[in-house]
Structure 1
Amino acid sequence: MWKETVSVTPPYHFDRVLKRLSLDPLNAVDLTERSVKVPVRSGAGELCIVTVRAAEGTASEPVFLVSGETNRQEMMERIREIFQWGKSLQAVHDHFSKTNLSALFEEHAGTPLVLEYSVYNCLMKCIIHQQLNLSFAFTLTERFVHAFGEQKDGVWCYPQPETVAALDYQDLRELQFSMRKAEYAIDTSRLIADGTLNLSKLPFLSDEDIMKKLITIRGIGPWTVQNVLMFGLGRPNLFPLADIGLQKAVKRRFGLAEKPSKEMMLDVSREWEPYLSYASLYLWRSIESSSP
Structure 2
Amino acid sequence: MWTKEIKVNGMFDFDYTLLRFSFDPLVDLNREERWVRIPLRLGTEKHIVKVRAIGTPYEPFFEIQGNDEAKKDKLMAFINDIFLWDRDLRPIQQFFQKTKLAPLFEQYPGTPIVKDFHPFDCLMKTIIHQQLNMTFAYTLTTRYIQNFGEEINGVWFQPTPEKVASLDYDALRELQFSQRKAEYVIDTARKIADGKLDLQKLSRLPDEDVLNILTKVRGVGPWTVENWLMFGLGRENLLPAADIGIQNALKKFLGKDKKPHKDDIYQMGEEWSPYRSYASLTLWRSIEG
* Fold similarity call, TM over 0.5: yes
**Coarse TM-score class (shorter-chain normalised):** over 0.9
> Could you report, residue by residue, the CA deviation over 1:217-236 in whole angstroms, capped at 9, with x for unpaired residues?
10101110101100000110
Cα deviation for residue 171 of structure 1 reads: 0.2
| Residue of structure 1 in register with 2:282 after alignment | 282
- Within-5 A mapping of 1:10-25: 10-25=10-25
- Within-5 A mapping of 1:119-158: 119-158=119-158
Cα deviation for residue 109 of structure 1 reads: 0.5
Cα deviation for residue 263 of structure 1 reads: 3.0
Q: 1:192 to 1:104 in 2, by over 3 A?
A: same
2:139 and 2:44 map into 1 onto residues whose CA distance is 26
> Could you report, residue by residue, the CA deviation over 1:47-71 in whole angstroms, capped at 9, with x for unpaired residues?
110000112x222211111011122
Give percent identity, aligned residues only. Answer: 52
Cα deviation for residue 45 of structure 1 reads: 2.1
Cα deviation for residue 46 of structure 1 reads: 1.2
2:36 and 2:30 map into 1 onto residues whose CA distance is 6
2:116 and 2:286 map into 1 onto residues whose CA distance is 20
1:267 and 1:213 map into 2 onto residues whose CA distance is 24
Cα deviation for residue 201 of structure 1 reads: 1.2
| Residue of structure 1 in register with 2:262 after alignment | 262
Cα deviation for residue 75 of structure 1 reads: 0.9
Cα deviation for residue 182 of structure 1 reads: 0.3
1:195 and 1:265 map into 2 onto residues whose CA distance is 36
1:265 and 1:129 map into 2 onto residues whose CA distance is 22
Cα deviation for residue 74 of structure 1 reads: 1.3
Cα deviation for residue 206 of structure 1 reads: 0.8
AA in 1 matched with 2:132: L
| Residue of structure 2 in register with 1:69 after alignment | 67
> Could you report, residue by residue, the CA deviation over 1:3-42 in whole angstroms, capped at 9, with x for unpaired residues?
1111101211211211221121121110121100000111
Cα deviation for residue 262 of structure 1 reads: 2.5
AA in 2 matched with 1:52: V
Residue 163 in 1 paired to residue 163 in 2?
yes
AA in 2 matched with 1:288: E
1:103 and 1:223 map into 2 onto residues whose CA distance is 27
> Could you report, residue by residue, the CA deviation over 1:151-198 in whole angstroms, capped at 9, with x for unpaired residues?
111011110000000001000000000000000000000011111111
AA in 2 matched with 1:229: L
Provide the aligned length of Structure 1 versus Structure 2.
287
Would you say the 8 A contact 2:236–2:277 is kept in 1? yes
| Residue of structure 1 in register with 2:117 after alignment | 117
AA in 2 matched with 1:45: T
2:75 and 2:149 map into 1 onto residues whose CA distance is 20
Cα deviation for residue 267 of structure 1 reads: 2.6
Would you say the 8 A contact 2:241–2:263 is kept in 1? no
Normalised by the size of structure 1, how large is the TM-score? 0.96
| Residue of structure 1 in register with 2:45 after alignment | 46
Normalised by the size of structure 2, how large is the TM-score? 0.97
2:32 and 2:249 map into 1 onto residues whose CA distance is 29
Would you say the 8 A contact 2:121–2:158 is kept in 1? yes
Gap regions ≥5 residues in structure 1:
none
**Equivalent position SS for 2:266:** helix
- Within-5 A mapping of 1:18-37: 18-37=18-37
In terms of mean alpha carbon deviation, does 259-268 or 160-169 score higher? 259-268
**Equivalent position SS for 1:277:** helix
**Equivalent position SS for 2:234:** coil
| Residue of structure 1 in register with 2:193 after alignment | 193
2:18 and 2:263 map into 1 onto residues whose CA distance is 34
| Residue of structure 1 in register with 2:57 after alignment | 59
2:282 and 2:26 map into 1 onto residues whose CA distance is 22
2:115 and 2:262 map into 1 onto residues whose CA distance is 27
AA in 2 matched with 1:13: D
1:32 and 1:264 map into 2 onto residues whose CA distance is 39
| Residue of structure 2 in register with 1:211 after alignment | 211
Gap regions ≥5 residues in structure 2:
none
